[in-house]
Chains A and B, each alone.
Chain A
Amino acid sequence: MDTPVRTKPVEERSNVVILFAGDSGDGIQLTGTQFTDTNALFGNDVSTFPNYPAEIRAPQGTLAGVSGYQLHFGSVEIFTPGDQCDVLVAMNAAALKANLDKLKKGGTIIANSDGFDAKNLRLAGYPDGADPLGDGRLTNFTAHAIDITKMTRHALEGISLGMKEKDRSKNMFVLGFINWMYSRDNALTEGFLKRKFAKTPDLLDANLRALIAGHNYGETSETFTTRFEVHPAPMPKGTYRNITGNQGTALGLIAASQKAGLDLFYGSYPITPASDILHELSRHKNFGVKTFQAEDEIAAICASIGASYGGALGVTASSGPGIALKGEALGLACMLEIPLVVINVQRGGPSTGLPTKTEQADLWQAVHGRNGEAPIPVIAASTPTDCFDMVLEAARIAVEHMTPVIFLSDGYIANGAEPWRFPQSNDLEPIIPPLAKGPNDDGKFLPYLRDERGVRPWALPGMKGLQHRIGGLEKEDKTGNISYEPKNHERMVQLRAEKVARIADRFKPIRLDSGPDSGKLLIVGWGSTYGAIRTAALQLQKEGHSVAHVHLRHLFPFNKGLRPMLPRYEKVLVPEMNSGQLRQLLRAEYLVDAQGLNKIQGMPFTSEEIREAALKHLNA
């Protein structure tokens, strides 16, 4: 680490929201994740929101090509990536234009002046002759224009790289500068660069020099007179790491397979935003993980069904469009009554919709989206770290109750990161597959003879004397033989439904996330709205309002404690990133006059939006 030449005054901040924005080729995501890791390692609580375009390399300099990475870090508990930003780093004119409305009044802009030349201004759609950095429209903010490109090139003089390659290091200059600004050193990123560029010394040299130059610039520049300090957060004692939702999901699946003593088989077809789970799992074959990149979504789920039939933990993942294709096979898994975890990392729909944006609009698809009556448990994660816990829960239910289970995540928590006080493997409960032990009916084997929970035995090929045939045709009760008998069909439909309903018997008692256990308003949330609702609810409680927050993990079947809980409040508010899917399920199930707060913009709620809506209901 370089030694500071002078010392500038340091101001304390309890929490900071910073948004890095630039072209999708500017290395914004890397800059963001490195700064996140540095802060997390320092002991801050963090929450992140990467927001990138659907196109791999949208036309340079345009609004469509703007990639963003928002980080909220603090010495206090952090639940969301932040409603509004304190700092906006804009690598070009488009990045400024696309994100200025997210900056707080009085916030700081750090602009790369090279990205505001005539061409970039035109591409960003500014009128001819406009000068957004100098024409006074930024008077509500503190704007600093720095020629990052020039300074990076200067720092890299003498390195035998082309200009284009040198310019790629400018994100490291930015990172070095931001590290300085928030009193962080470059150590974590230096280590990262040394590993990443171990085989390309020129690139390593370039990136390191840019990083150090950025840090030194902060120290020596006359423009920046102050640096900031965000102390470690008072997090519960323990050892932490940083994790995204998709990583949490992947690790949860491996943990489930280890705890169940079953090899993990992951059949999947690439789709945004679920593919990172495939990438992560394919790196862990030493855990006996088998990944299968199928020819399509249908093959992905069917291969997973085949693997489960063979005695593995079969898992498939996709996003909404892919889940639609898997619908028929989901029905098959329901009829076969074999374990299967089906992950939907939701994105904006319908159809191809908004591939890189977030939404919660596949809840009905998960609960109802099959032909016939095919009840399948549905579980949703609320934060990146919750993905680990909830996918483990999904796998536990799938294996122990012999059923497919749908696990809902979404683009927001899948790509967002937060600190994780990871568990020890010994703390995780074992998962017990109901493997057949032998003939179960007077020397014969009946594959659909159920136990007291309605669960059938799992007989694997290779088990002597337990040969049986299963399929998608309706089965005779107990024997599993084909049956078209009218009363038998009705009975089987009921037995399958009862089996799934009884899964609720094992759920832990429902508990409020915050607030009084009766009162004026209950906010019922599910999935990734957790952080925004929690922040709003805590704020409202601090302001003296009678508001409670409950967050549902089990969407089907519901936790039994929900029925007595709902009537204890005068009003129920259900914020969702859809038009009211949970609200309608709650109304149908509990005859409760639940009101909705609905946002369908491909963007998460801000906590302020939720607070305002709650106030409206409180004051009505």
Chain B
Amino acid sequence: MSTTNGASKIPGQARNDSAVKLDYSSDQDVRWCPGCGDYSILKQVESVLAQQGKPKEEIVFISGIGCSSRFPYYLDTYGVHGIHGRAPAIASGLRSVRPELSVWMITGDGDALSIGGNHIIHLLRRNVDLNVLLFNNEIYGLTKGQYSPTSPEGAITRSTPMGSIDHPFNPLALCMGADASFVARSMDRDVKHLREVLLRADAHRGTSLVEIYQNCNVFNDGAFETFTEKATKPLHTVFVEHGKPLVFANGTKGIKLDGMTPAIVDLATGASLDHLWIHDERDAYKASILVRLFDDPGKEGAMPRPFGVFYVNGRHTHETKLNAQVAMAKEKKGPGDLDALLRGEHTWTIG
């Protein structure tokens, strides 16, 4: 495989700006629109792979259909560009038979939550060990601009000229409902945070679901700008870290829990850090509240949108149990004897 021809032919989208990352790029031209948030995510994934130095041949990227799902073509690893919504199933089958591989799944809001909604919830409950990067841009990009299952109510799109009447999914609440073992959120515009979250996701054994807010600058430009732009980011986001209080707005505000209800506290006027909600990523109850911080940022008194690793649970993976059963069966019955199997229990002989 060539590792020298990684540079994109699209102006302004040069790749491989460091020697280390070069190694994981394929020889294919990247064909996302100039300015797409996907470039940043690709770069951070390459950076994480490079940082860990995993052998390329032991990595597999599996995707469905959509802009994000072109991802596997751009990496010099093994990869399957599957069919719409079915990447979770393809990845589950692969991991069942090859539990030693590093498997990444690339999907989008339409791929994972609309056509593949059934598969994603079953993937999460089974807890197949893979890293799921859910690129959420709240729009259908590849089909040119229809509303997606995460588009907000009222969204004006090509298929909703009078505004979307469908209530959107809260993707991470859905994941918590499906008993996901790793739930996190990051964004394309905060590369440092994204890289850290990806590293955590990769280290987790089980389905690591990372929702990534990704800007579609062609069909839904600025969908997340309140969370990503310097001017508004501090007031509208809260970055959570395990064991630390929920603080935002450059340290001037915090969040406390009134029973089950989160409330904003003004630290500038003397409220104490001690009363704040301390993030515990192992606490499923609190994580369920955290993912519910999902206000429209334009709403008066909106809670900030949380980012970071919300929930981690170390329960067994699907493939561990599957392979344990196979091992147990071999131990109990001995390795399969084909002749004994064909013979069965009752036989008779003629002649």
Residue pair A306, B92 in contact (C-beta under 8 Å): yes
- Nearest CB to that of A306 among chain B residues? B93
Among B89, B100, B345, point to the contact of A306 (Cβ < 8 A): B89
Q: Is A258 an interface residue (CB 8 A)?
A: yes
Complex formed: what's the CA distance from A328 to B89 in Å? 14
Q: Is A619 an interface residue (CB 8 A)?
A: no
Q: Which of A508-548 contact B (CB under 8 A)?
A: none
Residue pair B351, A309 in contact (C-beta under 8 Å): no
Complex formed: what's the CA distance from A338 to B100 in Å? 21
Task: Pick out which of these stretches binds chain B: A47-55, A152-160, A286-294, A448-456.
Answer: A286-294
Contact with A along B76-106 (1 / 0, CB 8 A): 1111111100101111111111101100000
User: Taking the nearest CB of chain A, how far is it from the CB of B239, in angstroms?
Assistant: 34
Residue pair B77, A467 in contact (C-beta under 8 Å): yes
Complex formed: what's the CA distance from A285 to B55 in Å? 31
Task: Pick out which of these stretches binds chain B: A161-169, A216-224, A470-478.
Answer: A470-478
Residue pair B346, A461 in contact (C-beta under 8 Å): no
Among A37, A290, A312, point to the contact of B346 (Cβ < 8 A): A37
Among A236, A461, A482, point to the contact of B98 (Cβ < 8 A): A461
Residue pair A469, B80 in contact (C-beta under 8 Å): yes
Residue pair A286, B335 in contact (C-beta under 8 Å): yes
Among B72, B339, B345, point to the contact of A424 (Cβ < 8 A): B339
Complex formed: what's the CA distance from A472 to B341 in Å? 38
Contact with A along B316-330 (1 / 0, CB 8 A): 000000100110111
Give the chain B neighbours of A242 by CB distance below 8 A.
Answer: 346
- Residues of B within 8 A of A (CB-CB), count: 64
Q: Is B119 an interface residue (CB 8 A)?
A: yes
Residue pair B93, A265 in contact (C-beta under 8 Å): yes
Residue pair B350, A306 in contact (C-beta under 8 Å): no
Give the chain B neighbours of A304 by CB distance below 8 A.
Answer: 93
Give the chain A neighbours of B73 by CB distance below 8 A.
Answer: 469, 471, 481-482
Residue pair B57, A465 in contact (C-beta under 8 Å): yes
Give the chain B neighbours of A422 by CB distance below 8 A.
Answer: 342-344
Residue pair B343, A241 in contact (C-beta under 8 Å): yes
Residue pair A286, B332 in contact (C-beta under 8 Å): yes
Residue pair A307, B97 in contact (C-beta under 8 Å): yes
Residue pair A241, B344 in contact (C-beta under 8 Å): yes
User: Taking the nearest CB of chain A, how far is it from the CB of B228, in angstroms?
Assistant: 30
Complex formed: what's the CA distance from A39 to B55 in Å? 60
Task: Pick out which of these stretches binds chain B: A295-303, A376-384, A554-562.
Answer: A295-303
Give the chain A neighbours of B65 by CB distance below 8 A.
Answer: 472
Residue pair A265, B339 in contact (C-beta under 8 Å): no
- Residues of A within 8 A of B (CB-CB), count: 75
Contact with B along A132-147 (1 / 0, CB 8 A): 0000000000000000
Residue pair B349, A469 in contact (C-beta under 8 Å): no
Among A238, A307, A470, point to the contact of B350 (Cβ < 8 A): A238
User: Taking the nearest CB of chain B, how far is it from the CB of A498, in angstroms?
Assistant: 24
Residue pair A258, B338 in contact (C-beta under 8 Å): yes
Complex formed: what's the CA distance from A414 to B332 in Å? 30
- Nearest CB to that of A419 among chain B residues? B348
User: Taking the nearest CB of chain A, how far is it from the CB of B116, in angstroms?
Assistant: 9
User: Taking the nearest CB of chain A, how far is it from the CB of B120, in angstroms?
Assistant: 10
User: Taking the nearest CB of chain B, how far is it from the CB of A242, in angstroms?
Assistant: 7
Give the chain B neighbours of A301 by CB distance below 8 A.
Answer: 89
Among A238, A290, A303, A467, point to the contact of B90 (Cβ < 8 A): A303
Residue pair B329, A285 in contact (C-beta under 8 Å): yes
User: Taking the nearest CB of chain A, how far is it from the CB of B222, in angstroms?
Assistant: 30
Among A236, A303, A465, A473, point to the contact of B89 (Cβ < 8 A): A303
Give the chain B neighbours of A236 by CB distance below 8 A.
Answer: 350-351
Q: Is A212 an interface residue (CB 8 A)?
A: no
User: Taking the nearest CB of chain B, how far is it from the CB of A506, in angstroms?
Assistant: 23
Residue pair B101, A290 in contact (C-beta under 8 Å): no
Q: Which of A221-262 contact B (CB under 8 A)?
A: 232, 235-243, 251, 254-255, 258
Residue pair B94, A306 in contact (C-beta under 8 Å): yes
Known: A299-B86, A482-B73. A240 touches B79 (CB 8 A): no
Q: Is A324 an interface residue (CB 8 A)?
A: no
Contact with B along A31-66 (1 / 0, CB 8 A): 000000100111100000000000000000000000
Q: Is A458 an interface residue (CB 8 A)?
A: no
Q: Which of A52-91 contact B (CB under 8 A)?
A: none
Known: A469-B78, A470-B79. A265 touches B86 (CB 8 A): no
Complex formed: what's the CA distance from A184 to B104 in Å? 62
Residue pair B336, A288 in contact (C-beta under 8 Å): yes
Give the chain B neighbours of A437 by CB distance below 8 A.
Answer: none
Complex formed: what's the CA distance from A444 to B2 in Å? 9
Residue pair A310, B93 in contact (C-beta under 8 Å): yes
Give the chain A neighbours of B75 by CB distance below 8 A.
Answer: 469
Give the chain B neighbours of A308 by CB distance below 8 A.
Answer: 93
Q: Is B162 an interface residue (CB 8 A)?
A: no
Complex formed: what's the CA distance from A300 to B62 in Å? 16
Q: Is A462 an interface residue (CB 8 A)?
A: yes
Q: Is A366 an interface residue (CB 8 A)?
A: no
Q: Is B333 an interface residue (CB 8 A)?
A: yes
User: Taking the nearest CB of chain A, how far is it from the CB of B89, in angstroms?
Assistant: 3
A254, A299, A472, A481 pick with most chain B CB within 10 angstroms: A299
Give the chain A neighbours of B62 by CB distance below 8 A.
Answer: 306
Q: Is A423 an interface residue (CB 8 A)?
A: yes
Q: Is A200 an interface residue (CB 8 A)?
A: no
Give the chain B neighbours of A467 by CB distance below 8 A.
Answer: 1, 56-57, 76-79
- Nearest CB to that of B27 among chain A residues? A481
Give the chain A neighbours of B330 by CB distance below 8 A.
Answer: 285-286, 288
Q: Is A263 an interface residue (CB 8 A)?
A: yes
- Nearest CB to that of A308 among chain B residues? B93
Give the chain A neighbours of B346 by CB distance below 8 A.
Answer: 37, 40-41, 188, 241-242
Q: Is A391 an interface residue (CB 8 A)?
A: no
Complex formed: what's the CA distance from A424 to B135 in Å? 53
Among B78, B97, B101, B328, point to the contact of A265 (Cβ < 8 A): B97
Residue pair B89, A310 in contact (C-beta under 8 Å): no
Complex formed: what's the CA distance from A336 to B95 in Å? 18
B residues whose Cβ falls under 8 Å from a Cβ of A: 1, 26, 28, 55-62, 65, 72-73, 75-83, 86, 88-98, 100-101, 118-119, 122, 322, 325-326, 328-330, 332-336, 338-339, 341-351
A residues whose Cβ falls under 8 Å from a Cβ of B: 37, 40-43, 188, 232, 235-243, 251, 254-255, 258, 263, 265, 267, 284-290, 292, 294-296, 298-312, 314, 328-329, 332, 336, 422-425, 444-445, 461-473, 481-482
List 22 A–B pairs whose Cβ atoms lie within 8 Å, in order of A's numbering: A43-B350, A239-B349, A240-B349, A241-B345, A241-B346, A241-B347, A251-B341, A267-B89, A267-B93, A286-B335, A292-B93, A306-B95, A306-B96, A309-B94, A310-B94, A461-B57, A461-B60, A463-B57, A469-B81, A471-B82, A472-B65, A482-B73
- Contacts A241-B347, A251-B341 aside, 7 further interface pairs with beta carbons under 8 A come to A284-B336, A285-B325, A287-B336, A295-B118, A307-B96, A329-B83, A461-B94
